[in-house]
C-alpha cells in the first residue's frame, strides 16, 4: 500500500459513517409546534376580528384600511417565507438548523393563505388580472401542499 493511502477497511468505515450522518433527521420539539400553532391561530383570529369589526374598507389609522393592512401583513409574511429558500443557499454558514427554518416556512405559509383569503374578501374577481393573480397564488399553495 502506498504511503498516505487508507486501508480498504478504514475507507469503508468512513463511508458508512458518512451514510449514517446523512440519514440523521431532526425532529422538531413539541414546544416549537405549539408556539407556531398559537402564533398562526392568534394572528388569523386577530385578522378575522379586524375584518369583522371594521369591514374591508374600514379605516384603521388615517387612510389605511383593513384590506391594505392585511395585504401588508401578508407581504411581510411572504418575505419571511422566502427567507427559507435564501437560507438553503448558504449551507456552509450557520444561521440555525434548517429544520427549524422549514417548520417556520410551513406555518407561515398557512398564515399567508389565511391572510390573503381575508385580504381578498373571499372573492375571486371577475377582472382577468386579479383572477390570474389569485389562481397563481392557489397554484403555489397547492404545489407546496403536494
Structurally, how many domains does the chain consist of? 1
Ranges of beta strands (E only) in 5-96 are: 59-61, 64-65
Report the sign of the C-alpha dihedral through residues 88, 92, 94, 96, in that order: positive
Contact in structure between 70 and 115 (CB atoms under 8 Å): yes
pLDDT at 64: 83
The answer as to whether 138 is a domain residue is yes
The answer as to whether 84 is a domain residue is yes
The answer as to whether 96 is a domain residue is yes
User: Does position 94 have pLDDT exceeding 90, yes or no?
Assistant: no
The answer as to whether 124 is a domain residue is yes
Contact in structure between 114 and 78 (CB atoms under 8 Å): no
Name which residue leads in pLDDT, 123 or 108. Answer: 108
Share of the chain above pLDDT 90, in %: 36
The answer as to whether 101 is a domain residue is yes
pLDDT at 22: 62
- Return the C-alpha cell found at 100: 427549524
- Residue 70 structural domain: 27-145
The answer as to whether 78 is a domain residue is yes
> Please, what is the average pLDDT of the chain?
85
* pTM for this entry: 0.76
The answer as to whether 4 is a domain residue is no
Ranges of beta strands (E only) in 27-125 are: 59-61, 64-65
The answer as to whether 130 is a domain residue is yes
pLDDT at 25: 67
Amino acid at each position: 500500500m502506498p504511503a498516505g493511502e487508507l486501508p480498504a477497511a478504514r475507507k469503508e468505515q468512513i463511508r458508512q459513517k458518512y451514510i449514517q450522518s446523512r440519514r440523521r433527521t431532526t425532529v422538531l420539539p413539541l414546544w416549537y409546534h405549539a408556539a407556531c400553532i398559537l402564533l398562526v391561530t392568534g394572528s388569523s383570529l386577530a385578522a378575522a376580528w379586524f375584518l369583522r369589526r371594521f369591514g374591508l374598507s374600514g379605516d384603521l389609522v388615517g387612510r389605511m384600511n383593513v384590506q391594505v393592512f392585511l395585504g401588508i401583513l401578508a407581504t411581510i409574511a411572504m418575505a419571511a417565507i422566502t427567507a427559507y429558500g435564501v437560507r438553503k443557499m448558504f449551507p456552509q454558514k450557520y444561521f440555525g438548523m434548517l429544520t427549524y427554518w422549514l417548520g417556520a416556512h410551513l406555518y407561515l405559509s398557512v398564515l399567508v393563505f389565511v391572510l390573503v383569503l381575508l385580504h381578498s374578501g373571499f372573492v375571486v374577481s371577475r377582472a382577468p388580472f386579479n383572477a390570474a393573480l389569485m389562481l397563481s397564488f392557489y397554484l403555489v399553495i397547492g404545489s407546496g401542499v403536494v
